[in-house]
Amino acid sequence: MNNSMASLTELSLAAARDGLRKKKFSAVELAQAHIAAIEKARALNAFIVETPEKALAMARQSDTRIIAGEAGPLEGIPLGIKDLYCTEGVPTTAASRILEGFVPPYESSVTANLWRDGAVMLGKLNLDEFAMGSSNETSYFGPVISPWRRRGSASPIVPGGSSGGSAAAVAARLCYGATASDTGGSIRQPAAFTGTVGIKPTYGRCSRWGMVAFASSLDQAGPIARSVRDAAIMLRSMAGHDPKDTTSVDLPVPDFEAVVEHGVKGLKIGIPKEYRRDGMPAEIENLWAQGIAWMKDAGAAVVDISLPHTRYALPAYYIVAPAEASSNLARYDGVRYGLRVPGKDIVDMYENTRAAGFGKEVRRRILIGTYVLSAGYYDAYYVRAQKIRTLIKQDFEAAFADGIDAILTPATPSSAFGLGEKGSADPVEMYLNDIFTVTVNMAGLPGIAVPAGLSSDGLPLGLQVIGRAFDEETLFSVGYVIEQSAPPIPPPDNWWP
């Protein structure tokens, strides 16, 4: 047992799992190493709630099961949980003041699956309030600071959003993996910004039961991890049919880890011309070209394709998502749980509670959503956006029907930006971060972001692979080829202790 605490947190999830099985170290030692790392990294503001006692108790149970030969697939593996997942007996806030004091009496299906498989909970991770944002600056608990910095600069940068706490914690070696969620890019964009791997599975692959809802027809749970293999291991445990979620699909969950090294020989990879944006930074263009070269070198055929309705995806998304949010967030009224601000009558109490409880971006989206659903505007906005959504889905279906196995695009239009640099004067500037990711949610397809290089100022850049519905296996195979071809991205310099 001569492993130093720091070296334990440097392991991959797969290596930690294998080391536990070989009894090279104990689950308690892994939990202790991560608890110590989290205490030293509070400057990142990645966690809203730390649960060290719970982690040690769960780790002790894992050690007992490992000795008894009853280890689950994730036995003893310390994970972080995005604070959008309800966790029994542990405060759940969705990073909003309106859920102050809310302690769920139940466990979300995804986290229940992780605990069933032996995982250990380190705490609840920060996010954009109600998952609305692309930089993790809208949280009531303050922004998450990325563990990354521009070369030669000490100024803070964002980890991306909304799963910024998840991405920052994984990149900073505070947990082996984290749950995240993706409504328009909230797994893939922060993964790309932090040099981590994030997969948004097909809509219906993971249960949404017990997750705080943002836009119910777009939200999907998924993991952020340090490697393609680690993400595959996590997704296998997170996924599965759940009768409590009517949108959950009753399909067997493949052994995703088993296909990671299958390669791309003989696959047809589509390159959509609509993703070539005017004014796209040269380094994003070059990264994409590099990704195409890696695919060819690995034996894939690369084909230019067209997804003509791509340019309508962002405006349509920013109608559909706020519309569903305004409906979902109507339940936060100060009556049964969370914040209550008194008023002279019940309507006054509703208004006071919602005004005090919701942050600026959430209020903005509720207003947009209520407007597009109102009489007189419903057909002009919401119905049209849903029609565009169908056309976007048909674009992808046509490409796949043509024999395309996966689609390769950039993950983000740039590397991570500085804290406070975007969106303060014009919210649309922030929304443009989702330009390459929202189509995938609109079509319900799976997408993975994999680190592929560094920007000129030393920040991670990612490529995105989009697949057919319920074909996450191909994404893991293609993602692994990118991971193996790309120069290894070193972890961020540890500036925070």
Mean pLDDT for 176-185 is: 97
Catalytic residue among 54, 62, 82, 248: 82
Q: How far is Cα 298 from Cα 457, in angstroms, rounded to an integer?
A: 29
Mean pLDDT for 444-450 is: 98
For residue range 23-34, what is the model confidence (pLDDT) as tens digits? 999 999 999 999
Q: Which residue has the tokens 């229940």?
A: 112
Q: How far is Cα 354 from Cα 345, in angstroms, rounded to an integer?
A: 14
Percent of the chain exceeding pLDDT 70 equals 99
Separation in Å, CA 66 to CA 3, 17, 112, 219: 19, 11, 19, 35
- The CATH H-level (homologous superfamily) assignment of domain 1-497 is Amidase signature (AS) domain (3.90.1300.10)
160, 192 Cβ separation under 8 angstroms: yes
231, 177 Cβ separation under 8 angstroms: yes
Task: Supply the Cα-derived Rg of the chain in whole angstroms.
Answer: 21
CA atoms within 13 A on the CB side of 94: 26
For residue range 448-491, what is the model confidence (pLDDT) as tens digits? 999 999 999 999 999 999 999 999 999 999 999 999 999 999 99
Q: How far is Cα 34 from Cα 117, in angstroms, rounded to an integer?
A: 19
187, 181 Cβ separation under 8 angstroms: yes
What is the CB neighbour count within 10 angstroms for residue 275?
20
Is the preceding peptide bond at 162 cis, omega within 30 degrees of 0?
A: yes
Over 80: is that where the pLDDT of 6 sits? no
Among 356, 412, 34, which Cα is nearest to 187's? 412
Catalytic residue among 26, 108, 186, 237: 186
Polymer length in residues for the chain: 497
For residue range 312-355, what is the model confidence (pLDDT) as tens digits? 999 999 999 999 999 999 999 989 889 999 999 999 999 999 99
Among 195, 176, 186, which Cα is nearest to 234's? 176
Over 60: is that where the pLDDT of 3 sits? no
Q: How far is Cα 60 from Cα 189, in angstroms, rounded to an integer?
A: 35
Catalytic residue among 108, 162, 248, 415: 162
Mean pLDDT for 248-258 is: 97
Residue 162 annotated as catalytic = yes
Domain regions of the chain by residue span: 1-497
Would you place residue 497 in the very low, low, confident or very high pLDDT band (cuts 50, 70, 90)? confident
150, 157 Cβ separation under 8 angstroms: yes
Over 60: is that where the pLDDT of 1 sits? no
* Region for 84 from its dihedrals, namely left if φ exceeds 0, alpha if ψ lies in -120 to 50, beta otherwise: alpha
Residue 186 annotated as catalytic = yes
3-state secondary structure the chain: CCCCHHHHHHCCHHHHHHHHHCCCCCHHHHHHHHHHHHHHCHHHCCEEEECHHHHHHHHHHHHHHHHCCCCCCCCCCEEEEECCECECCECCCCCCHHHCCCCCCCCCHHHHHHHHCCCEEEEEECCCHHHCCCCCCCCCCCCCCCCCCCCCCCCCECCCCCCHHHHHHHHCCCCCEEEEEECCCCCHHHHHHHCCEEEECCCCCCCCCCECCCCCCCCEEEEEECCHHHHHHHHHHHCCCCCCCCCCCCCCCCCHHHHCCCCCCCCEEEEEHHHCCCCCCHHHHHHHHHHHHHHHHCCCEEEEECCHHHHHHHHHHHHHHHHHHHHHHHHCCCCCCCCCCCCCCHHHHHHHHHHHHCCHHHHHHHHHHHHHHCCCCHHHHHHHHHHHHHHHHHHHHHHHHCCCCEEEEECCCCCCCECCCCCCCCHHHHHHHHCCCHHHHHHCCCEEEEEEEECCCCCEEEEEEEECCCCHHHHHHHHHHHHHHCCCCCCCCCCCC
What is the CB neighbour count within 10 angstroms for residue 417?
20
Would you place residue 399 in the very low, low, confident or very high pLDDT band (cuts 50, 70, 90)? very high
427, 322 Cβ separation under 8 angstroms: no
- 280, with CB counted inside 10 A (0-12, 13-18, 19+), is middle
Mean pLDDT for 240-246 is: 97
Residue 207 annotated as catalytic = no
Over 60: is that where the pLDDT of 47 sits? yes
Buried-exposed string 394-409: b where 16+ CB fall within 10 A, e elsewhere? ebbeebbeeebbbbbb
484, 497 Cβ separation under 8 angstroms: no
Q: How far is Cα 311 from Cα 340, in angstroms, rounded to an integer?
A: 42
Give me the pLDDT at residue 277, please.
83
Mean pLDDT for 53-65 is: 98
Residues 6+ apart with CB under 8 A from 399: 270, 272, 305, 307, 407
